[in-house]
Structure 1
C-alpha cells in the first residue's frame, strides 16, 4: 500500500457521507475512523481497511465510490486479483463438488463466513429467484423484480457437508424475519434456501 495523503483522508471521510455507501461498507469505514481518532497511524489503519474490503473488491461487489477509493489507496504497481468467474463455473460442473444457494440479507456480508471454511471451493454473490433477466442493482433494490441477494457456494462434500453449511447459515440469519435481515430491510434481503436442481444459475453482480 502506498503512502496515505491528505487527499486520501478527505476521500475517506466523504465516503462516510456518501448516500450510496452500503451499511456493511460503512461499518468498515466507521471502524477505521475510530482507529484514526484513537491515534493509530493512517497507513496501518488503511492497510487493515483494505484487507477487510478485499474479498468484495476482487468480486467487483463494492459500491462505485468505495471501489474508486479502494483502487486509489493501492500502490501504483499493486493490482487486486479479480474474482475468477471461469473457475467458479468450472467448479459448478465438476462432479466432485456440490453447490448450495443461500439468501439472507446483504450478500456482501454472507461471502466471507462461507469463503473461509475448509472444503469451500468458491463463493459467488449475486441475485436469484426473480422475474427479470439480468437485473441491475437499482432494479433489485427497487423491490420490483422479485430477486433476492444470495450467495452460491461450491463445496467439496468430502470436506464440508451440506448440513455443516446449513448450520453456519442458521448462525448468520434469523429465519423468523421475512422482512429482511438486521438493518437490511426489504424483499431482496429475505432469508431463503434454494434447492439447486430448481435454480439454473445465479446472476453475478
Structure 2
C-alpha cells in the first residue's frame, strides 16, 4: 500500500534537491580542479603557484552562505581544489614547484611549500566533507566518495598522467575522512554528555 501523498511528495522533493545539488557540485568540482592555476592570468602580481590560489583562502568563505546551492557549489569546488593540490604535493620544492607570496613581496616559501600545499589540500577535503554532511543530502557520503574518486582518477590520468597523483589524493582523502569521522564522534559524545547533565 502506498504511503500518504504528502510523504511521497516530500520524498520526491528530496530526490529533486539531491540531484540538483549533485549537478552543482560536479560542475563546481570541475572548476575547482583548474582554479589553482588561474594565477597564470595574473602574473603581474601573482607568481605561478601563488599562495592565494593554491589554498582554500578564496573558496572557503562560500561555505558560510545561507543558500544551500551555494554551499553545495563551494563543497564541490573545494573537492576540485583538494585534488589539484594533492597532485602538486609531488612537485619538487624548487623554482615553480614552490609556493609564492603575491606582489609586492613575491617571495617563495621554499622548503615549506609542500607543507602548505598538503595542509590546504587536507583542509579543503575536510571542509568539503563536513559541508556535504551539513547539507543532509540523501546518501551524502557515497555521493562525496564517488565524486572525489572519479574526479581524482580522471585528473591523475588525463592531466597529470601519473598514478602517484591519485595515490597522493588517496592519502589526503583517507586522512580527511578519518579526521571528520573523529570530529563527528567527538560532537556526538559532547552532545550525549550535555543531555546526561540535563537529565540529572
Q: TM-score when scaled to structure 1?
A: 0.29
Instruction: Return the structure number with greater helix share.
Output: 2
Instruction: Return the structure number with greater strand share.
Output: 1
Q: Rg larger in 1 or in 2?
A: 2
Q: TM-score when scaled to structure 2?
A: 0.30
